[in-house]
Amino acid sequence: MTDATAAKSQAGFKEKRRIGTGSTQLNLGLVIFSMIIIALIIQGLFIPSSALDGELTVRLKPPGMTSNGFHLFGTDQLGRDLFFRVMGGLPWSLGIAGLATCILATIGTLVGLVGAWYENFIRTTVLLTISTFIAFPFLVLALVMVAVIGRGFWPITLTLGIIAWPVVARVIYAEGRGILQREYVLAAKLFGVSKWSILFVHVLPGIRPTILVMAAFLFAVMLIIESALSFLGLGAPLNAPSWGNMLSDSRQYLINAPWMMFVPAGAIVSAVISLNLISDGVAEISRMRARAVEI
Amino acid sequence: MTDVTKGPDGAAETAVEAQPAVSGGARGDEETVPIALNVARTLGRRLLELLVLLIGISTLLFFLLRLTGDPAAVLAGETGDQEQLELIRKQYGMDKPLIVQYGVFLSQVVVLDFGRSLANAQDALGLVFERLPTSFTLVIIAFTANLAFSIPLGAWLGSRPDRQTRKLVATGVFIAQGIPGYITGLVLIQIFAVELRWLPSIGNQGPASWIMPALTLASFQAPHVIRVISANVSEAMREDFIRTARANGAGFNTLLWRHALKNAMLGATALIGTQVAFLLSGSIITEVIFAWPGLGRLLVTSVQTLDFPVVQAAVFCIAIFVFIAITATDIVFLFIDPRLRRQRA
Amino acid sequence: MSAVQETTSSGAQVTKFGETTLAVNDLVVEFPRPVGDNFRAVNGVTFELRRGETLGLVGESGSGKSMTALSLLGIVPLPGRIVEGSVVLAGRNLTGLTEAQLREVRGGDIGMVFQDPMTGLNPVRTVGSQLTESSARHNDISRTEAEERAFRALDDVGIPSARERLKAYPHELSGGLRQRVMIALALMNHPDVIIADEATTSLDATIQAQILDLFRERLASATMILITHDLGVAAEICDRIAVMYAGRIVETGTIEDVLSSPRHPYTVGLLSAVPKFDIRRPKLVPIPGQPPTADDIIRGCSFSPRCPFAQPQCDNRPELEDRGGRFVACWTPRGAEAQ
């Protein structure tokens, strides 16, 4: 290392203390996302389903006061309060996206690790499977699967989980290979440590940040795909309060009632941005930690 | 549709390494292998993958369809009675054992016989081909617009990542990445078609009507491309050869555009190759939003009406299209990147 | 200084050195620290380079030698900056020039060879194009002429089949050839001064020997600064040597003088720590302690914490003192003239 780089790396080491996690991005993302989760809990516990009923006398009203009471986000074409509708979309969207993420993260990690560990035809099969399906457009696959196994909460969740695991698998494979080639793993193998031990004790902690980063990111992707499916009429049941449905409804009324579009759009965008922040934030923290170890 | 390629260290857009389509790396003094061999190897591998994909998806569809319900009932629709169901079963050979059915199915697929559309009895594959050029146009325009905009912007952002202006713009790009493409489309319609009435928002009516759909489609991927290029460029700018060039008098612009950018681009081959795939994904929604008469819209309609022959034909074509795009990109980069050209035999 | 004719102890007549080509005075390069004062990577460096001589700048990693070289060209990496001092080349103070003027100096008046030829050349551009770019930039010539000069530069440094190599990419060349290309790049526009920053460090021993041969043959009469941490390399190539420690020059003199009778305690320690095969010695004597890091702030002589001869007066920083052609920065230098 030349004098130049030595001087630079030492001079740049920050010593300030920070509130919360070390990353502004992560903090912000967690804050926004927790607000969303709180909204979900409130929605589940406190909001009666009657809040979603429409009162036709107050259709297409902008946010504000009406004869029917105060509407924070206005009403839609059937007089339903948009605030409660958008909250109502939370369980469906977050549920599907969240569960699908758990599925794909699990499958992806397992397959990736299997590919990383074994050397023979198993690895070849794994790699071939991954590289075959990984470039295929998500939405196309999702549409087709939905056509075949139907709509509804669980079919869609399964579909999304099955479509996306190759993405995780490829990254975990690469990282797993990297770790497995380190000398301490070779040493462990020579000592006869079982493969499960090695994987759980040595490999898993190393890839944990990666899994988190990808999970947060893919959660957002699943949200987007799910609302795309609902938008196309192939997701949530037609009158259910899902964000995609709301967007689809809003198309006809862009002239009279633009807020109908902005409300679900805002919900989707905030959820996605908060997840992207979390994803980038975790990545940033693990980068900072890696650098601290070097210094 | 947001992209899902992440670098190995998990960070959203770290500098993406040049990933040669063939294994190994080139070092000086090694035996060189003619480039034709590399091309052949890549092609061979991709074709194998394509074959696996096509067989895999078709089989998946085949079995899923039969497992989740009575396909005859599905084909007959809601109005079928018992007699009709029997007719359909006989016609489609559903009374034969499953294995036989599968065999018949595969033999049909091999000769590209996808049957006829259930909606209008036209040849399924023919319908797909009809719509292909329209979608293709949209995808190409969006692809070009995306790259023409995102690459320079990404390079500019990556060249001096710590300057204030760039940080602001980078934040803007981050936020833009959080906005799904179809929302952008709707907002564009809201602003330009509804409020300002500048642009048409429906269908294929000539160049003016291409603008919003193309922009929308490009926006699906633009933030991601910008961020990857930016990361690659900033990494390239920290390389030693930049210091060498600078020590020989190169100015900032020369360093960025003549030295760093080429390196950065060559590291982004995987990204560019998969652009087409993600654009196809996005084109589905875009076509629906803008009533663009393309393949995506056909796919959605046929899924909604459970028109399976058309669905199968469409998926097939999309798969082939995607693979052609990726393979073509790989091969082009084999020619362009000097490091990939020569490989140990 | 006028031309000097020097006679070695064996009576042979050696190279004459001309007038001063490059004069560096009190050069200071600072890097901001998160807390406290700025870190001085280069802390008041003064030396002269005379025409035709090869000056070795020797020191450990972190001593500031590379940073000194970069600051001569004005390419100190951010956030570092030159805050004091002057670098006078042919009557011009380089620290006062604009960026545009400096670009002419870089590669034109001063040529620099870097350490790692593997990463120092752009992997996606041909060797020829990188040379041609530099040639075309510094001379008002046509492209064809620039290519011709590139060819000649490669040929000059002993690269066989130079014409074909112009079209080669860096990864297609061996390490030794790549370093020759780097040298060719530095020499292309016939600069007044050449700086070689650890030019042989990342090469394996046989290639290193080849490159040193090249230096001796081709660059014997060049005005050169050779930066290295390897005293052996310095001994082979350099006429004079300047020893750096913690951002300061602590001793300068001719190579024979410094190596045979070092004055500064640090130089003494360095040479004692070098194993010598021809002298029987019970054990190596390393210098105790560590060189100061960027976070350490030292009052007075920066070597004093580790110096076995430290005195109370070492709390004041010693300047380089001229002791008959030898410069030493120490209150109590070793050797015959110590007072």
| Max CA pair span of chain B | 86
| Residue B175 CA from chain centroid, whole number | 22
The per-residue pLDDT for B1 is 30
Alpha helix (H) residue ranges in C205-315 = 205-218, 231-237, 255-260, 265-273
* Angstrom distances, CA of residue C230 to CA of A224, A232, B91, C197, C237: 60, 71, 87, 12, 11
- For residue B273, list chain A residues with Cβ-Cβ distance below 8 A: 135
CB contact under 8 A, C62 and A3: yes
Question: Higher-confidence residue: A224 or A12?
Answer: A224
Residue B240 is nearest to which of C75, C108, C119, comparing CB atoms?
C119
Residue A140 CA to residue C239 CA, distance in Å, equals 73
Count of domains for chain A:
1
**Average pLDDT estimate for A160-168:** 90
CATH number at residue A122: 1.10.3720.10
- The pLDDT score that the predictor gives to residue B5 is 39
Does residue B280 register a pLDDT over 50?
Answer: yes
How confident is the model at residue B91, as a pLDDT? 66
Q: How far is B251 from chain C (nearest CA, A)?
A: 7
Residue B115 has pLDDT above 90, yes or no: no
Residue with tokens 């061999």: B37
Give the residue from C38, C61, C115 with the most A CB atoms within 10 Å of its CB, the best one to mutate: C61
Joined together, the tokens standing for residue A199 give 């994987």
Residue A57 has what pLDDT? 77
Q: Which of A1, A3, A10, A295 to mutate against chain C (most C CBs within 10 Å)?
A: A3
Among the listed residues A278, A131, A32, the one whose alpha carbon sits nearest the alpha carbon of residue B12: A278
CB contact under 8 A, C121 and B339: no
Residues of C in contact with A17 (CB under 8 A): none
Tell me the one-letter amino acid at B82. Answer: Q
H/E segment holding residue A79: none
User: What percent of chain B is modeled with pLDDT above 90?
Assistant: 13
The predicted pLDDT at position B66 comes to 65
The reply to whether A17 touches chain C by the CB within 8 Å rule is no
Q: How far apart are CA A7 and CA A13, in angstroms?
A: 11
Bridge partner residues of C89 (DSSP): C22, C92
0.95 surpassed by complex ipTM: no
Distance from CA of B161 to the nearest CA of C (A): 12
The answer, yes or no, to whether residue B19 has pLDDT greater than 50, is no
Asked if C77's CB is within 8 angstroms of A1's CB, the reply is no
Range with lowest mean pLDDT among B11-15, B287-291, C274-278: B11-15
Mean pLDDT of A154-164: 89
- Using alpha carbons, list the distances in angstroms from residue C231 to A4, C207, C209, C214, C256: 20, 18, 14, 18, 12
Residues of A within 8 A of C32 (CB-CB) are 11
Separation of alpha carbons C339 and C331, rounded Å: 9
Pick from A123-132, B63-72, B329-338, C170-179: least confident:
B63-72
pLDDT, tens digit, for every residue of A34-90? 999 998 888 888 877 777 777 777 778 788 777 777 777 888 888 888 888 888 889
Q: How far apart are CA B49 and CA B61, in angstroms?
A: 18
Residue C233's pLDDT is what? 87
Give the minimum alpha-carbon distance from C143 to chain A in angstroms, rounded to a whole number: 35
- Residue in A with minimal Cα distance to B5: A167
The answer to whether the CB atoms of B263 and C124 lie below 8 A apart is: yes
In a domain, A249, yes or no: yes
Strand C110-113 relative to strand C193-197: parallel, antiparallel, unpaired? Answer: parallel
- What are the DSSP E strand ranges found in chain C? 4-7, 13-17, 20-31, 39-50, 54-58, 81-89, 92-93, 110-113, 193-197, 224-228, 240-245, 248-254, 321-323, 326-328
DSSP type of residue C192:
S
> Is residue A144 predicted with pLDDT exceeding 60?
yes
pLDDT at B32: 55
User: From start to end of chain A, where are the E strands?
Assistant: 64-66, 69-71
Is residue B285 pLDDT above 60, yes or no? yes
Whether chain C has a CB inside 8 Å of the CB on A13: the answer is yes
**Would the CB atoms of C115 and A4 count as touching at under 8 Å?**
no
Which residue range is the domain that position A181 belongs to?
A: 81-280
A to C CB pairs, distance under 8 Å = 51
| Overall average pLDDT of the A107-127 stretch | 88
> In the prediction, which pLDDT does C3 show?
41
The average pLDDT across A145-156 equals 82
Provide the pairing of β-strand C193-197 with C20-31.
Answer: unpaired
- DSSP-assigned beta bridge partners for residue A168: none
Distance (Å) from the alpha carbon of B315 to chain A's nearest alpha carbon: 7
Whether A127 is in a domain gets the answer yes
Q: How confident is the model at residue B226 (pLDDT cuts 50, 70, 90)?
A: very high
* Local confidence band at B33 (pLDDT 50, 70, 90 cut-offs): low
* Backbone region of residue B318 per phi and psi (left: phi > 0; alpha: psi in -120 to 50; beta: other values): alpha
pLDDT tens-digit readout, B160-180: 877 888 889 999 999 999 999
pLDDT in tens, A259-274: 888 889 999 999 999 9
pLDDT at A169 (0 to 100): 92
* Residue A201 domain-assigned (yes or no): yes
Report if residue A198 sits inside a domain: yes
Whether pLDDT at B20 is above 50: no
Residue A95: name the closest of A221, A217, A223 by CA.
A223
Which regions in chain C score pLDDT beneath 70?
Answer: 1-17, 276-284, 324, 335-339
Instruction: Report the pLDDT value the prediction gives residue C282, as an integer from 0 to 100.
Output: 63
- Does A294 map to a domain? no
Terminal-residue alpha carbon distance, chain B: 40
Closest-CA distance, A121 to chain B, in angstroms, reads 16
Residues on chain A touching C61 (C-beta within 8 angstroms): 1-3, 6
State residue B341's pLDDT score: 66
* pLDDT at site C2: 36
Supply the pLDDT for residue A2.
47
Mean residue pLDDT of chain B comes to 77
CA distance C271 to C285: 9
User: What subunits make at least 3 CB pairs under 8 angstroms with B?
Assistant: A, C
Chain B hits for A205, Cβ within 8 Å:
none
Q: Which one has a higher pLDDT value, C265 or B142? A: B142
Residue A295 confidence (pLDDT): 46
Which pLDDT value is given to residue B206?
Answer: 73
Tokens at residue A109, please? 């990690």
Give the closest of A4, A12, A13 to C66, CB-based. Answer: A4
pLDDT at B81 over 90: no
Nearest to B183 among A135, A254, A268 (CB): A268
Q: Would you call A242 an interface residue with chain B, using a CB distance cutoff of 8 Å? A: no
pLDDT, tens digit (0-9, with 9 covering 90-100), for B308-345 = 778 888 888 888 888 888 888 888 887 777 776 655 33
The DSSP letter of residue C226 is E
Q: What is the pLDDT of residue B3?
A: 32
Does A74 fall in a domain? no
Residue B169: what pLDDT?
92
Q: What is the DSSP letter of C287?
A: P
pLDDT range class, residue B70, cuts 50, 70, 90:
low
Model confidence at B34: pLDDT above 50: yes
* Residue C200, both tokens: 């042989």
**Per-residue confidence (pLDDT) for residue C182, from 0 to 100:** 92
Tell me what percent of the residues of chain A surpass a pLDDT of 70: 92
Q: Give domain status of residue A248, yes or no.
A: yes
Q: What is the pLDDT of residue B67?
A: 64
pLDDT at B276 over 70: yes
Q: Model pTM?
A: 0.82
* Residue A125 falls inside a structural domain: yes
